[in-house]
Structure 1
Amino acid sequence: MQQTGRTIPTETFYTSTESLSRLFDKNVRKLRFQGETAEAFRTWKQEAAAQLKKVTGMDQMEYCDLEPRILGTEQMDGYRREKWLIQTEPDVWMPFYILLPDGIAEGETRPAMIAPHGHGSAGKYSPASRTDIPAVAEAVENYNYGYGLRFVQEGYIVFCPDARGFGERREWMLQGEEERAFLNSTCVELNHIAISLGRSLTGMWTWDLIRLVDYIETRTDCTPGKIGCAGLSGGGLQTLWLAALDERVQCAVVSGYFYGYKDSLLKYSYNCGCNYVPSLWNHVDMGDLGAMIAPRPLLIETGNEDGLNGDRGLQNVTEQLEITRDAYSVWGQENRLQHHIFEGRHRWDGKETYPFVDRWLK
């Protein structure tokens, strides 16, 4: 074996991924739904929800007073943008924007939409379309990120939160204001800490949104029973989990985040560490999370060139969709599950979104 420079060539790699892939096939989806009745579905969902709260660490999280406070307000073109803060766990604070359409009469209510962000967004700034910030303007352009703005233009009261690790919730190791730090996150570092304490970032994100729903229900300007959630990528993750575990979410739109775990997160294990929850794959695949939303309206949108779909592309998506569709069939509500495939890469499309949400929330 000839030395080349400071290393030597490796003739054979003795890897473990293949073994873990076989383990996935052996153990995956032990909590899959196999019933044929609504009663069986309810029983399954209750068991699945309890297990998911356990593996994510949500069953350890503590309720506390929300202590909502307004931090600022600014009149925009056709809507008012307010900045708020709530406490989601003791001494854990979540800042968020509320976008309020102009023209709401005294005593009038509007449906509420939660618009969680994904990666490369600077947190709440991209869904709220803060294009006055040059780095955010580029992210909004690249990913069509301004869906929060679009929803307020459609007449909804919109909530754009910072997820833990993003925006104003970045941890100490990424608190600079240079563009790389500003746009990115400390979600990987937070998940490393969380899983070592029996929690997970997915659980913390979902918990925070559940507490945001708690806050929305206290507002007199939001229509009772009319709460939706829509997000791209990591925002799709947050939407999927929130809708699966909180039935107060009456309509969900998941963009760029619906595919089989094996192809997209086991084989493509370089995807962000925030996707990983201890033991999750032993219990469910992504289609099972979608099934837990049934029979409430769910729209999934997928770019046919989205690399996150994995090597098999749309097949990896449609396999999970069929798992979800089986649950909607149990309720006789197949029309409430919609899949929009668009030409393009990983981004928000929205072509079918706004009519879909209007149909079910307005």
Structure 2
Amino acid sequence: MESGPLEESFGKIKRREFVKAAIQTAALPVFLDLPDPDSAYLKQSHINNPSRNMSPEKSVIGHYGSWANSLLPKTPPLSFRNEKHTDLKKWQAEALAKTKELIAAPERIKTPTVTVEKKYIFDGLEIEELSWDLGYGRPTKAVFMKPQGASKPLPAVLGLHDHAGMKYFGLRKIVKTSEDQHPILKEHQESDYGGKPWANELAKLGYAVLVHDTFAFGSRRVHFDDVEGLNWGYVDTTGKHDQEPEKTENINTYNAWSSEHEHVMSKSLFCAGTTWPGVFLSEDQVALDILSSRKDVDPERIGCGGLSGGGLRTVYLGGLDPRIKCAVCVGFMTTWTDLILNRSFNHTWMTYTPLLPQFLDFPEILGLRVPLPTLVQNNNQDQLYTLPEMKKADEVLKEVYKKAKAPEKYAAKFYDGPHKFDLEMQKNAFEWFGKWLS
């Protein structure tokens, strides 16, 4: 592919390092003037020091930070922590209604016709490659897995793939269906998942697991050739990328381009009267419809979970759909304050529902599911959040579950290390699923 300003901007850091940074931080905006990672600025700033407590005068939006943060209500009116809410069901109905109104999810279609593309055995699992049409965009591809020989209805988990700055891939980031695995995926699973495709590992424990590509990822991604009206100069739109679609160079270029395109997509979604979380919710609920309708699945024992972007999707799906009986949110928990003052710059547009912070703090979106079981897994050195605000989010959820008289249904764990879902975390997550779904 031809190079241009974006390619030249990689001169200060190697392409591999750039992609790795994108993977680890779910880096979404592609900054065209990337600072040297060894610069004094990065070493001294809050960007590489997530535990630093910033003074009220300094923030990622300068002196406007403390003012913007002051616009948040101290205790949001639809927070269950608000003393005016004493009836759990009454509060839940009101809070869910407002959240659904603001998230503005497109009306989802009735359960679509599912096509079984392939069926085979791999890694001790019965695997089905599926597809379905949502009526917009290209068909959704998905993978369903269960232990070989399983005949009775199984507990099930909807596996939600991450963002990782890699929209070229979707479900393939957390599954493995053959020994022929792309090097980018192998590296991603090594760095973020302890070298394991966690969806496979969970299925081996006796679960039915469905993983699908979601909006703008994998089979649902935006293709160069479908875009009109943009002339950014650094993207080859002649179609050459489709001739060798799995070539690492082409994938990296696409991921960088799609990161910039995320700004365009989010603005267009707002203009259409919806939100990115709303589109996610709609598509994830269709997948949930499909999973729960299978004869080999027990619809009363379904959970969901995922890392990073998958954790974000868990917040919204787990918070707003009571069919999710057990939720595991990994590496995506903080407060709106953290995003206002410290961390909005390295988060995806997919995070935000305009106006919702006036009614609920971010962890309280997931808290809408109380008293259903919920596990939140955090990394102490996660560069996407500050540790004090992660701990504050934990206290918020503890208070919600305590007030609902269900403290045993909530747990949060903190692990040393950066943004990840490693083997120790997977073990704890699988135990949580086992406790509530078995």
TM-score (norm 2): 0.72
Q: 1:101 to 1:189 in 2, by over 3 A?
A: farther
Structure 1 partner of 2:29: none
Amino acid at match of 1:104: A
Give distance in 2, aligned partners of 1:88 and 1:266.
Answer: 38
Structure 2 partner of 1:25: 70
Helix, strand or coil: the match of 1:230?
strand
Instruction: Tell me the alpha carbon deviations over residues 271-304 of structure 1, each in whole angstroms, 9 at most, x when there is no partner.
Output: 2222222222222212211321211111111111
Structure 1 partner of 2:351: 275
Aligned residues: 343
Structure 2 partner of 1:113: 157
Which of 266, 288, 291 is equivalent to 1:213? Answer: 288
Contact 1:291 1:325 in 2 (8 A): no
Richer in strand (by share): 1
Contact 2:326 2:436 in 1 (8 A): yes
* Alignment pair present for 1:154 and 2:154: no
Instruction: Tell me the alpha carbon deviations over residues 143-178 of structure 1, each in whole angstroms, 9 at most, x when there is no partner.
Output: 006221111111111111111111111102399432
* Alignment pair present for 1:75 and 2:147: no
Q: 1:94 to 1:225 in 2, by over 3 A?
A: same
* Alignment pair present for 1:94 and 2:145: no
Contact 1:64 1:89 in 2 (8 A): no
Contact 1:100 1:152 in 2 (8 A): yes
Structure 2 partner of 1:143: 192
Report the RMSD for the aligned CA atoms in angstroms: 2.5
Structure 1 partner of 2:375: 299
Instruction: Tell me the alpha carbon deviations over residues 189-236 of structure 1, each in whole angstroms, 9 at most, x when there is no partner.
Output: 432211121111111111111111111221110013010001000000
Amino acid at match of 1:148: A
Helix, strand or coil: the match of 1:112?
strand
Superposed displacement of residue 324, structure 1: 1.3
Structure 2 partner of 1:41: 88
Contact 1:206 1:238 in 2 (8 A): yes
Contact 1:64 1:87 in 2 (8 A): no
Contact 1:69 1:85 in 2 (8 A): yes
Contact 1:228 1:361 in 2 (8 A): yes
Contact 1:55 1:280 in 2 (8 A): yes
Structure 1 partner of 2:404: 331
Give distance in 2, aligned partners of 1:147 and 1:337.
Answer: 22
Contact 1:83 1:95 in 2 (8 A): yes
Give distance in 1, aligned partners of 2:275 and 2:400.
Answer: 27
Contact 1:71 1:84 in 2 (8 A): yes
Contact 1:135 1:179 in 2 (8 A): no
Give distance in 2, aligned partners of 1:187 and 1:251.
Answer: 31
Structure 2: where are the runs of 5+ without partners? Answer: 1-59, 225-234
Superposed displacement of residue 128, structure 1: 0.8
- Please identify runs of 4+ aligned residues in structure 1 that moved more than 6 A: 36-39
Give distance in 2, aligned partners of 1:273 and 1:17.
Answer: 21
Instruction: Tell me the alpha carbon deviations over residues 222-255 of structure 1, each in whole angstroms, 9 at most, x when there is no partner.
Output: 0130100010000001011101100000000000
Structure 2 partner of 1:179: 251
Superposed displacement of residue 34, structure 1: 3.5
Amino acid at match of 1:97: V
Structure 2 partner of 1:192: 267
Structure 2 partner of 1:255: 330
Structure 1: where are the runs of 5+ without partners? Answer: 1-14
Which of 385, 395, 405 is equivalent to 1:309? Answer: 385
Instruction: Tell me the alpha carbon deviations over residues 15-67 of structure 1, each in whole angstroms, 9 at most, x when there is no partner.
Output: 96533542332234342223579962222222222222222211x42434512
Contact 1:64 1:90 in 2 (8 A): no
Helix, strand or coil: the match of 1:263?
helix
Helix, strand or coil: the match of 1:325?
helix
Structure 1 partner of 2:221: 170
Structure 1 partner of 2:175: 128
* Alignment pair present for 1:245 and 2:320: yes
Moved more, 279-288 or 168-177: 168-177
Moved more, 87-96 or 226-235: 87-96
Superposed displacement of residue 260, structure 1: 1.1
